[in-house]
Every structure is written in structure tokens, then in C-alpha cells.
Amino acid sequence: MREKLRIAVLASGNGTNLQALIDASQRGYFHGQIVLVVSNNKDAYALKRAENHNIDSVFINRNDYRTRDDFDRAIIKLLEGYRIDLVLLAGYMRVAGRDMVHTFYGRMMNIHPSLLPAFPGLEAQKQALDYGAKVSGCTVHFVDEGVDTGPIIVQRAVEVCEDDTVESLSDRILAEEHKIYPLAVRFYCEGKLKIEGRRVRVSG
């Protein structure tokens, strides 16, 4: 049997998507193993989640590096040292720099709480409500040099209700994020994804 892909997750906060990915990995939903969690926030609960599952976790302090590029290069060196096959951004509150994108292009995914290209960037759920959208959702995409602009892998729609608040809409979207992120990783581990320009072809 072929070896499982080695996966790293970058997270800055609570890490619920990280937990969904850990759970999926442990039940054999995809042929990959999360071997490293990296955070730029020493208080991120994501680090505790990693510890709870005996996954190596590393806090890297942006203030220890003179430039953003130096910070990104430190992360690249760490990931390469762990022989990472796939990098997953899960609530990672930094834009990946050029060096990181070029090093891991086609091997780095992000999840975003809207149906991209609508409502990229911060507070996507509030953007959807303020705009009066009737449907929102979530997107898993490959990472490029833009903000939430990379080729789309999987999307899931979520209806916006008349009485929704940012919190209620966010909760329903998050529940779908926990489903489609492991699905995108499964497709990747099975070799089913091919990037053709802006389009991601899913075979099989």
C-alpha cells in the first residue's frame, strides 16, 4: 500500500476546521496524515487540538522576523523539513507570500466562508448579509498570490434566511466547511484534481 500523504495545517484561531480534518484523517476518510500544525498565534486553540492528538505543533512569531518574506521562508523551511506533501490553511489569518505560493502551488489549499469569487477577504458572512445575498456558502480553493482568488476545488451553497445574523449564518456555513474541506483533501489524496488555468478538473 502506498504511503499516506504528509499534511500540514496552518491555523491562527480555534481550529474547528482543523478538528474536522483530524477526525476525517483518523477515520480513514482520506489517505493522508496530519503530521504538523503551525500557528502564528501562540494562544491559538488549534495548537492545543494538535497536542490532544499527538500531532507536532509549532508557534512561529512574526515579530521574530524582519520582513514578511523572512517569516514565510521560515515556514517554508519548517514544512520542507517535515517533507510535507499538502499544506492546508484553516483560519490562517495571513496572506501567503510569493515564495510560499510558488513553493507549494498546487499543493496548498484554503477554505473561505463564501461562494467565491463573491465576498473575498475578511468578514465574508457580514459582507453577504450587508449585500442582501439570498445564498452564500463556502469554498475550498488552491492558493495563489491573490486574496481568495485561487482555482476553486469544491463549493457548497447555504441559504441566507431573512432573520439571519452574522453568527447564525456563520454557524451554518461552518457546518458545511467541515464537510467539504475533508472532501477536497480526499480528492487530492486520490489524485483526482488537475488545475487547468482557472478551472480545477475533478476526475472520477
Rounded Cα distance, 100 and 90, in Å = 16
Rounded Cα distance, 183 and 30, in Å = 8
Of 90, 66, 91, 65, give the one whose Cα is nearest residue 78.
65
Of 3, 5, 77, 67, give the one whose Cα is nearest residue 38.
77
Q: Per the residue annotation, which of 31, 53, 102, 112 is the catalytic one?
A: 112
Residues 158 and 113 sit within 8 Å (Cβ to Cβ): no
- Secondary structure of residue 27 in the 3-state scheme: coil
141 is catalytic: no
Catalytic residues: 112
